[in-house]
Chain A
Amino acid sequence: MTHPSDTGPAPVLALEDISKSFGAVRALRDVSLRLFPGEVHALAGENGAGKSTLIKTLAGVHRPDAGRVLLDGEPVVFHGPGDARDAGIAVIYQEPTLFPDLSIAENIFMGRQPRRAFGRIDHRATRAATEALMRRLGVDLDPDRPARGLSIADQQIVEIAKALSFEARVLVMDEPTAALTGSEVARLFGVVRTLRDQGAAVLFISHRLEEIFQICRRVTTLRDGGLISSEPLDGMTEDDLVRRMVGRDLDELYPKQDVTAGEVALSVKRLTREGVFTDISFEVRRGEIVGLAGLVGAGRTEVARAVFGIDRWDAGGVEVDGRALTNGAPSTAMAAGLALVPEDRRAQGLVMGMSIERNIGLTGLRTTVRAGLMDRGAERSRSLDWAVRLQVKYSRIADAVSTLSGGNQQKVVLAKWLATGPGVLIVDEPTRGIDVGTKAEVHRLLSQLAADGVAVLMISSDLPEILGMADRVLVMHEGRLTAEIPRAEATEETVMAAATGRAAA
């Protein structure tokens, strides 16, 4: 397939009128998709639009209820992920799927290791092949290193190496950039372009619209499980795309209200945790949204964890409304009116198997109590109240949160903490992996909270979000606070300069 795609080569992979239901939920309705060699194709849609189901159908995880999958024009049926892989389809999931205890080389070649006589694994060849892949990708990762502890960017490199190792013809990437910094995204895109130029078909999913325009040629949009359009991106604007995804014009993405800052609510003084962050001092006033920017690994999350008392600090102190917090005691932080919405909602923010009601209720276990026993009625009404106020989309409040889409899960985490009526709210990557519609809602909510007098500290790797929402921007670089930039002076250049340590603060 050496022809450029506009002369009309056959699609390498096509879905025809695919439908898939889970119980009463119709996740996909008559969706078609055609992937051409040498082309990056975007799949757009809000959370819950059916993107993940579509990918899992391609990957052989789900079998469609109706419709056909065509590979090189021939109908195929995937009985499992192995079949899809053997057909040359590689999927890089949002959640990394590595084996933490095994080496990088083993992760890449699991199930397909080079063999010696009698079916024994050729460990040396496996290692050499891994080294070759790493050279091809231009990265420096030791093949013998276990996957445990790799950064998300490096985990994705391992996943891509895996796809390269079996010469995948179709590469599906489900929000690969959600947790990456700018330079990591650039590196990833370099790799994707190379693969594309070598004739691979790439299906790319991202909530960052500018990335779609940057790297993709065509876009297929889904809404509520149905196909909206499949068309070239040429001549489309971001607004056009958003309208297709959301089905209406989107209100402003960053609805920041101007609020006069009140007195200091959160005061962090010379906070130090050895080897993690050093000498961090800042204040957040009532009504203010303070952005905390920096590269992944700069120590932002760690500062938030220490402030909230999850990790201990070695020096310095934290005050809320002038009262000092106890080192390493989240319960006193909560009692002082501090709330932390963590970065990883699946692992830290939610109990995935528990109901929406119970998850929101978790922060009220001390307050929704009658005669020493849980008041289930009060818990339910408290949870319902917040679920409605945040417009969580669910069928029943007793459903497990694992059944919700990512954006709605994030709303549940927010509801859980807002229900405590915090005076200081720390949000860590509040919109990571969330569709634009929900993102705007979260932003409006944060802005409203600030207007109501809550002090908000917002950690984010999404630069437009920081610039659009924050009254002041703090920037961290390698464990130190390198800059404090007022809203008027904050630009991508000033923030990135401080984040990469290029400029003196």
Chain B
Amino acid sequence: MTVTAPESAPAAELPPSSGTRLVDRVFKMRELAILVVFLVMIAVTQAGNSEFLSEQGIKDLLLNATILVLVATGQSLVVITRNVDLSVGSTLGISAFAAGTYLHGGGNPVVAIVLAVLLGVGCGLLNGLLVSLGQVPALVVTLGTLYIIRGVDSIWVGSRQITAADLPGGFVDFGSGGVSAVPWLALIALAVLVATAYYLKHFGSGRESYALGSNPEAARLAGIPVRKRILTAYTFCGALAGLAGALYLARFGNVDSGTGNGYELTVVSAVVVGGVVFTGGSGSVYGAALGALLLTSINSVLPALGVSSVWVLAINGVLLLLAIAVDRIVALRVATALKKSTAKRPAGDGARRPAPEKGSSRNA
């Protein structure tokens, strides 16, 4: 679907800047493509099952996506710096249980959420310090912390369980309530998402995160505080995983030592499907959020269409590969387009007839 777009784009452009505009378009297109896939999927499902988009149906879709959107937003920040955080599932689990235990003891819900976030910040700091100081690949480091945090969680929690009955009623209501079809939790996730996107685009440290992922050596030479940026990204990612833990508790009311187990892979899938490039430097949190929305919606779409949910995993996998394939094809096409736009202006030689070539630029 997106594959054909780059081809037709340059035709409408004037040659001198077609390279730039094309790139712009393609990257916007990348997020647009997921949105289109998502909307088509929803439309098809609605056509097959008119109950699907009821108020409750929409609410469920949004609620299901909320937790993943939050964690994927944090993960994007880390992936943009050319790292990865595999410990988010464990962090979510332990934060959720901590918040639950505190609430069970009669604590204030707001303090409980803050507690979960702080616990997440702690886990993020640990990851960030290990990755930035240890010079060890993030994949390995966070695989280690994944097990450490999960292990601590298991020792602490044992066979205990928090259920909705242990939680204050207001907290559980908050987890399922909202403004008509839009749940509170989704609004929180949206606020976090918009704020993060704004930060990444408009603040120096946000741009430096992209720079760092795009070329770490150049970032170091440009005087970017590399370790600080990595530490910030992990801390932020941990904080959002912690927040997601608290919201998980509010949404499901049911937490044990296995909560969030294996979640990191879903998160990474959402981020990659959303067009955040795994080698860093490129992609947006909006894309990651759309990826999260797409992946979670499949869970609701299949039952609504009468398809067994055993298909969900396989379909997620196909989407992931498809996303990577599309990225690759788009990257190749963009590279060709950029080369052509450079070739049109005789490289570095302004004196050599720059003008007459305009006419012949469409000789793909």
Residues of chain A touching chain B, judged by Cβ–Cβ distance below 8 Å, are 59, 61, 80-83, 85-86, 91, 93, 97-102, 106, 110-111, 113, 115, 119-121, 123, 138-140, 142, 144-146, 148-151, 153-154, 157, 180-181, 183-184, 187, 275, 295-297, 500
The CA-CA distance from A93 to B350 in the complex, in Å, is 24
Smallest Cβ distance from A476 to chain B, in angstroms? Answer: 14
B208-A111 in contact (CB<8A): yes
Q: Mark B335-356, 1 if CB is under 8 A from A, else 0.
A: 1001101110101111110100
| Cβ contacts under 8 Å, A121 to chain B | 201-204, 207
The CA-CA distance from A134 to B349 in the complex, in Å, is 14
The CA-CA distance from A187 to B347 in the complex, in Å, is 12
| Cβ contacts under 8 Å, A181 to chain B | 348-349
Using CB atoms, name the residue of chain A closest to B224. Answer: A111
The listed residue (B214, B335, B343, B347) touching A153 by CB distance below 8 A is B347
The listed residue (B16, B213, B218) touching A98 by CB distance below 8 A is B218
Which residues of chain B from 272 to 310 have a CB within 8 Å of any chain A CB?
277, 281-282
B221-A59 in contact (CB<8A): yes
| Cβ contacts under 8 Å, B192 to chain A | none
* B36 at interface, CB cutoff 8 A: no
The listed residue (B214, B217, B222, B223) touching A101 by CB distance below 8 A is B214
The listed residue (A61, A113, A146, A151) touching B204 by CB distance below 8 A is A113
A82-B207 in contact (CB<8A): no
| Cβ contacts under 8 Å, B214 to chain A | 99-102
Q: Mark B195-222, 1 if CB is under 8 A from A, else 0.
A: 0000001111001101101110111111
Mostly, the A contact residues are loop
| Cβ contacts under 8 Å, A99 to chain B | 210-211, 214-215, 218-219, 281
The CA-CA distance from A184 to B354 in the complex, in Å, is 15
Known: A121-B203, A149-B339. A184 touches B221 (CB 8 A): no
Could you say which of B2-10, B18-26, B52-60, B172-180 contacts chain A?
B18-26
B208-A110 in contact (CB<8A): yes
| Cβ contacts under 8 Å, B208 to chain A | 110-111
B218-A97 in contact (CB<8A): yes
Using CB atoms, name the residue of chain B closest to A82. Answer: B223
A187-B348 in contact (CB<8A): yes
Contact count A vs B, C-beta below 8 Å: 129
The CA-CA distance from A157 to B225 in the complex, in Å, is 25
Smallest Cβ distance from A62 to chain B, in angstroms? Answer: 12
Smallest Cβ distance from B283 to chain A, in angstroms? Answer: 9
* B: number of interface residues (CB 8 Å): 46
B347-A119 in contact (CB<8A): no
The listed residue (B223, B224, B335, B349) touching A149 by CB distance below 8 A is B335
Closest 5 CB pairs of A and B: A82-B223, A149-B338, A153-B348, A97-B218, A101-B281
| Cβ contacts under 8 Å, B217 to chain A | 97
| Cβ contacts under 8 Å, A111 to chain B | 204, 208, 222-224
Known: A144-B20, A146-B23, A184-B349. A81 touches B207 (CB 8 A): no
Can you pick out 17 interface pairs between chain A and chain B where the beta carbons lie within 8 Å of each other?
A: A80-B223, A99-B210, A100-B281, A101-B277, A102-B211, A110-B207, A110-B211, A111-B204, A123-B202, A138-B350, A144-B20, A148-B338, A153-B348, A184-B349, A187-B350, A275-B363, A295-B347
| Cβ contacts under 8 Å, B203 to chain A | 119-121
Smallest Cβ distance from A137 to chain B, in angstroms? Answer: 11
The CA-CA distance from A328 to B96 in the complex, in Å, is 56
A-B contacts besides A153-B347, A184-B347, A187-B350, 14 pairs, CB < 8 Å:
A81-B221, A81-B223, A82-B224, A99-B215, A99-B219, A101-B282, A110-B224, A120-B202, A120-B203, A139-B350, A148-B335, A149-B342, A275-B364, A295-B347
A106-B211 in contact (CB<8A): yes
| Cβ contacts under 8 Å, B342 to chain A | 149-151, 154
| Cβ contacts under 8 Å, B221 to chain A | 59, 61, 81, 91, 93, 97
The CA-CA distance from A279 to B339 in the complex, in Å, is 21
Known: A110-B207, A150-B342. A85 touches B20 (CB 8 A): no
Smallest Cβ distance from A113 to chain B, in angstroms? Answer: 6
* B163 at interface, CB cutoff 8 A: no
Using CB atoms, name the residue of chain B closest to A122. Answer: B202
A151-B348 in contact (CB<8A): yes
Known: A110-B224, A121-B204, A145-B20. A98 touches B338 (CB 8 A): no
Smallest Cβ distance from A346 to chain B, in angstroms? Answer: 12
| Cβ contacts under 8 Å, B222 to chain A | 81-82, 85, 97, 110-111
